[in-house]
Amino acid sequence: MSPEIHTFFESEALTLESTFYRSTTASKNQTIIYLHGGGLIWGNRNDLPIDYIHQFLDNGYHFLAIDYPLAPETSLPEIYTYAVKAIEWFCERFDDVLHLASNDYSLFGRSAGAYLALLLGNDHSLPCPPKRIISFYGYHSVQEPFYLSPSKQYQKYPAIPESLINQMIQKKPLVSGPLETRYAIYIYCRQTGKWLDMVMPRKSNRQSFSLSDDELKQLPPTFIAQSKTDQDVPYEIGVHLANTIAHTQFFSVEDLDHDFDKDPQNPVAVQAYEAVIEWLQS
């Protein structure tokens, strides 16, 4: 079945859409709402390999991938506001637009998308809260040292000049950021330790976009997956999430990169998604 495209927000400057896949296999009347990764700077809502989407569909879960605008053209507080709009749209239009029997859902994010999912899981203003959260190599705070200091891993790459970055930043909000044109911005941020300056220039807001341990303890049940050799988000972040959130399952990966699931043929990646399905059904 072909996916459905729905617009959940539109203004003169910005259009935000979602891609909806409907399960026709013994439906669980639950939806997986997906937020993509990319350091909030690159990526798009359709970046998840279709193999994984079919795993959810074949096990009875609908799948909804949502847009959010990218930094630095849009700052983190605004990005989060639009992520909230997507959830509000789903909660309110699940029946008349998507023709679903229930607005029960789980949030699924990878990397920066997992960060947004964790923030949303703590947002008590949502009209319908998530039942569960799936965090693949995510983080819960923008104030962790790994994002505030230059990365030795990224400093191995040729230095990206600031003048080039200034040329790459657009004047209008951007929703889809191809790796070929946007990854250099992220590399620059990690080489210089300026990621947070790029995504959230106003320092006064930073505490509001980081979850405390007390807030983590109140999150819904969460599935956490991360590689011990993650060069982007330290493995210790995943361990901390697993040890602090009240109800978790931790899928630990050996000797693979940050986005260990980029190849859907990798047996470890297949096992991770099988574990997610089993956990959802438990």
> Mind listing the pLDDT tens digit for each residue in 267-278?
999 999 999 999
pLDDT of residue 204: 78
Q: Mean pLDDT throughout 110-128? A: 98
Nearest-angstrom CA–CA distance, 206 and 80? 13
Mean of the pLDDT values across residues 225-244?
97
The DSSP code for 134 is E
Q: Are 52 and 62 in contact (CB under 8 A)?
A: no
Q: How far apart are CA 117 and CA 113, in angstroms?
A: 6
| Window from 21-30, 92-101, 225-234 with minimum mean pLDDT | 21-30
Average pLDDT over residues 8-34: 94
- 207 phi and psi, to 5 degrees? -65, -35
Task: Give the pLDDT score at 1.
Answer: 62
pLDDT in tens, 149-182: 999 999 999 999 999 999 999 999 999 999 888 9
pLDDT digits (tens, 9 = 90+) for 176-215: 999 888 999 999 999 999 999 999 988 877 889 999 999 9
User: What is the phi/psi pair of residue 122, to 5°?
Assistant: -100, 0
Query: Rounded to the nearest 5°, which phi and psi values hold at 208?
Result: -70, -15
Average confidence (pLDDT) over 20-42: 94
Q: Is the peptide bond before 158 cis (omega within 30 degrees of 0)?
A: no
